[in-house]
Each structure stands twice: as structure tokens, then as C-alpha cells.
């Protein structure tokens, strides 16, 4: 298979490129490096089956030669990024998705849209099944990401119905793992960065809001299962293990053996109260569910952060990562 991966130098995109190459496929990685890094794909550059195209998908997408699959992952994905780049986020979710779908239509390729659990907004239904239409503030600060992805889902569906594109939609819930940017603003990289530096670990609100955390390798497996399936989606991909942000901060504090204290700060507008996927459909049609224990994934992520911090600052921070037993609140 020859696959085009937009946003292929991003956190999730780079893992997708790596897995496709591992499975014997050719990869064309398209990225404008707005929020990604060449460091994420540097280890792939010497593979003759890997090609980097440093272009902006919102300006068009022309890939010579045959294409069997288009995986559209290009988009700012963290609140820090899409609040800083609201127009760019809306544009990649609209024009960028359109161009990626046009390429799939022209090449007769399968198309996979990486949508998001943010399509559900601050949900009134818990856990969230694919049939739930969501509770999104269309003019709030987070709407640039939420509505861009919701538009992308509608566009992919229209291409499937009217142009015969084999378009598939996945809704990705909170994903973590190596190669996350320490400053991307999401909870896990923020907590790990603060813990390793000995800074206060900042939890928003009272910390009772929840997320469900899926390790990146499991997510990539789900994405490729969806690409190979006959189902159009949308299909939720995420971990139904729900944890509060206060518990997560405590957990990361124990795994890093930090001296940092937890500090409560104001909570952002429209921050979802609860987030947990109903993955019944993924289990049925993809035979997929996450396999990596969250603790194992956190240890791998912390180790990756330590390596990068050491490389950047030229000194060792903290002690080697060893995983103590989970505290009872997280295990429950």
C-alpha cells in the first residue's frame, strides 16, 4: 500500500507513519510543521519507502503516482495551539479536509478522517456513543477546533455519498505517549513537564473533571483497523478507563517521584466536565480495544520526556522512572 499521511510529523501522525512502514507500506508524509517537528520523523528519513512533502494541505494536495490510502491527521490538536491559531485550525478542518478528500477521490483511495471526541463538546450523555450528537458551544473559544472537526465529518460523509469515496471517520479520545510536545498545553505533557522540573503541578478547577487516556500505540492500531474495515463510521477510539485530573496529577507525581505540589488554577471556558468513550462499536466492527495499561504508557511517556529534557538542558533531572503501585483511586 502507498499511503499519504497529512500531519505525518505530528505526535499521532509520526506514530502512524512509523507503523505503516513497519507493516511494509510506502508513506508520503505531508506536513507544514506549524505545530509538529521534524524530530518526530527524523528516524524515518533513511527509509527509502518514506517521503516527506513539506507543504500546507490547505493550499492543495497533489501527490504524483498511485495512492491507496489518505489518512488526514493534519490539524492543531491542543487548546494552546488552536486558541493561538484559530483561523488556521478552521482552515485545515475545512479546506485541508476538502483537498485531502479530493486527492482520495482522484486516486480511488480509501480515506480516513481523524476526528475528535471534542465533537461531543461538554457532553450531556455519559459515556459518549457515536449516536450522540453532542453539546458544543459554536461561538466559544474552543469552537474553532470542535466545529472544524464536525465540519470535516460532514464533508467526508458528503464525499462518500455523492462522490463514492470510501471515507471513514474515527473520533479520537484523549491520546498520550512519546513525542508529545512538553508545552502543548494538554494535561499529561503539562503535568510531566512540571513534575520533572519541580514546578507546581497545575490542575484546573477542583480537578474533578475527567478524561479517558489511550496510549498512542493502541490508538494507531485502531486507526489502521478502521482503514482496513468496511465500516464508514464514525467510530470512537479511546480508553473507557476514566480518571479525574486531580488523580492523574497525583499519579504522575508518584511515577516521577517529584517534590512538586499540586496547585489549583482557574478552569478554561467550555472545558468538558466528563469524557469517556463508549467503544462498543469499535469492539464489534474492528475487534479493537486498548491493550496498554495506562501506567505502562505513562512510564514510557515520562522516560521519553526525561530523555528530551536531558538533551535540551544537558543535565539529568530526577531519578530513573520506576513505577510504584497505583493508588486505589486510580485503580477503582
Q: Which residues are catalytic?
A: 145
Which grid coordinates are listed for 331? 485503580
The H-or-E segment that residue 214 falls in is strand 214-215
Cα–Cα dist 283/80, whole Å: 33
Cis before 20? omega within 30: no
Cα–Cα dist 124/8, whole Å: 33
Burial of 55 (0-12, 13-18, 19+ CB in 10 A): middle
Cα–Cα dist 244/146, whole Å: 22
The phi-psi region of residue 292 (left if phi > 0; otherwise alpha if psi is between -120 and 50; otherwise beta) is beta
DSSP 101-168: HHHHHHHT-EEEEEEEGGGGBS-SSSSB-TT---B--TTSTTHHHHHHHHHHHHHHHHHHHHH---EE
Residue 32, phi then psi, degrees to nearest 5 = -100, 0
Strand partners, 114: 170
What is the dihedral angle through the alpha carbons of 324, 239, 128, 283, rounded to the nearest 10 degrees? Answer: -140
For strand 26-30 and strand 2-6, is the pairing parallel, antiparallel, or unpaired?
Answer: parallel
- Orientation of helix 294-313 relative to helix 187-197, angle to 10°: 50
- Distances in Å between the alpha carbon of 207 and those of 203, 204, 318? 6, 6, 25
Amino acid at each position: 500500500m502507498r499511503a499519504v499521511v497529512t500531519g505525518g510529523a505530528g505526535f499521532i501522525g509520526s506514530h502512524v507513519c512509523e507503523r505503516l512502514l513497519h507493516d511494509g507500506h510506502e508513506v508520503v508524509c505531508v506536513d507544514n510543521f506549524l505545530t509538529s517537528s521534524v524530530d518526530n520523523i527524523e528516524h524515518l528519513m533513511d527509509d527509502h519507502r518514506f517521503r516527506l512533502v513539506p507543504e500546507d494541505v490547505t493550499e492543495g494536495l497533489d501527490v504524483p503516482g498511485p495512492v491507496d490510502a489518505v489518512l488526514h491527521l493534519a490539524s492543531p490538536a491542543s487548546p494552546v495551539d488552536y486558541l493561538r491559531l484559530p483561523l488556521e485550525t478552521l482552515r485545515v478542518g475545512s479546506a485541508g479536509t476538502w483537498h485531502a478528500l479530493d486527492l482520495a477521490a482522484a486516486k480511488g483511495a480509501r480515506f480516513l478522517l481523524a476526528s475528535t471526541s471534542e465533537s461531543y463538546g461538554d457532553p450531556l450523555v455519559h459515556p459518549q456513543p457515536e449516536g450522540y450528537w453532542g453539546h458544543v458551544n459554536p461561538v466559544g473559544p474552543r469552537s474553532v477546533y470542535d466545529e472544524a472537526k464536525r465540519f470535516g465529518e460532514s464533508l467526508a460523509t458528503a464525499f462518500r455519498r455523492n462522490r463514492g469515496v470510501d471515507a471513514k471517520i474515527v473520533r479520537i479520545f484523549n491520546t498520550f505517549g512519546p513525542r508529545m510536545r512538553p508545552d502543548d498545553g494538554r494535561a499529561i505533557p503539562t503535568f510531566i513537564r512540571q513534575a520533572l522540573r519541580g514546578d507546581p503541578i497545575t490542575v484546573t478547577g477542583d480537578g474533578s473533571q475527567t478524561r479517558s487516556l489511550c496510549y498512542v500505540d493502541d490508538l494507531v492500531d485502531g486507526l489502521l483497523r478502521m482503514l482496513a474495515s468496511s465500516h464508514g463510521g464514525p467510530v470512537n477510539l479511546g480508553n473507557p478507563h476514566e480518571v479525574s485530573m486531580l488523580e492523574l496529577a497525583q499519579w504522575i507525581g508518584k511515577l516521577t517521584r517529584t517534590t512538586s505540589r499540586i496547585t489549583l488554577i482557574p478552569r478554561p471556558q467550555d472545558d468538558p466536565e466528563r469524557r469517556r468513550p463508549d467503544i462498543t462499536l469499535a469492539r464489534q466492527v474492528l475487534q479493537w480495544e486498548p491493550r496498554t495499561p495506562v501506567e505502562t504508557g505513562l512510564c514510557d511517556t515520562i522516560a521519553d520526556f526525561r530523555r528530551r529534557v536531558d538533551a535540551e538542558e544537558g543535565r539529568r533531572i530526577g531519578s530513573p522512572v520506576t513505577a510504584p503501585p497505583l493508588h486505589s483511586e486510580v485503580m477503582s
